[in-house]
Amino acid sequence: MSTVQRTRTGFWRDALVRDVLSMALAMAIVGASLGAIAVSKGVPLWMITLMAAVVFAGGSEFMAVGLITAGAAPVTAVLGGLMLNARHLPFGLAVGGLFGRSWPARLVGSHLMVDESVAFAMAQRTDAEKRRAYWLTGIALYCAWAPSVFLGGLLGQGVGDPAAFGLDAAMPAALLALIMPSLREFRTLRAVAVGALIAVLTTPVLPEGLPVVVALVGVAAALPLPKKLEGAR
């Protein structure tokens, strides 16, 4: 076997590569659902595709589509996106050193900073492994996201109701799969439960998309309890 063949075989046997490609496939399905839902609600195909390439933040894009198509002001979608992505501030502090020193590398690295790329990077031991995991995950997910949104938008042009094919459930299912391992921690479970309850209670009375923003109040439930209450629990 040639050196090139052994290198290729070793690449595909790499556990990190397999995990990243599996995640990219899952995100492609989510992206297709976003494109289909957005186009079916009247968002131009070019606009949702451009958003996928420029914003590259699935949760914020779903929320923006829901708010704007429900008649909310664009500033509401922007503020909601800023609140939803506030977690990137500590993310940047944690992985900013992996981007390199040049401004182009730091700009590109910042754009690729999503939950998955940060999680894969922080799971590694050495800085070299963290850097490799971060860039591999970020590039793979970015290459899967925008094309899948575009293809989903093409599908949405011919599908009257994406819910009939279950596309509307793709994003919630993917997010649930991502947070399931974290639910073993009581504080995380408490925050998720409070946020979900707030979203359910406000859905009948608030415009589409806003219950998700209001549910962010549930994050406060993850804060440490006073020592007396923690001891009683």
Comparing 174 with 137, the larger pLDDT belongs to: 137
pTM over 0.85: no
How far is residue 49's CA from residue 34's CA, in Å, rounded to a whole number?
A: 10
- Which residue has tokens 């998309």? 209
Of residues 191 and 183, the one with the higher pLDDT is 191
- Residues 70-93: what's their mean pLDDT? 77
Residue count of the chain, please give it.
233
Residue 27 has pLDDT above 50, yes or no: yes
The per-residue DSSP string of 152-192 comes to HHHHHHH-S-GGGGTGGGHHHHHHHHHHGGGGGSHHHHHHH
Q: Are the beta carbons of 48 and 38 closer than 8 angstroms?
A: yes
Alpha-carbon distance of 110 to 113, in angstroms, equals 5
pLDDT of residue 3: 46
Query: Taking 80 as the threshold, does the pLDDT of residue 25 lie above it?
Result: yes
List for the chain the helix, strand, coil content (%; round to 5): 80, 0, 20
Over the chain, what is the mean pLDDT?
78
The whole-number average pLDDT for the span 77-89 is 77
The mean pLDDT value for 124-131 works out to 89
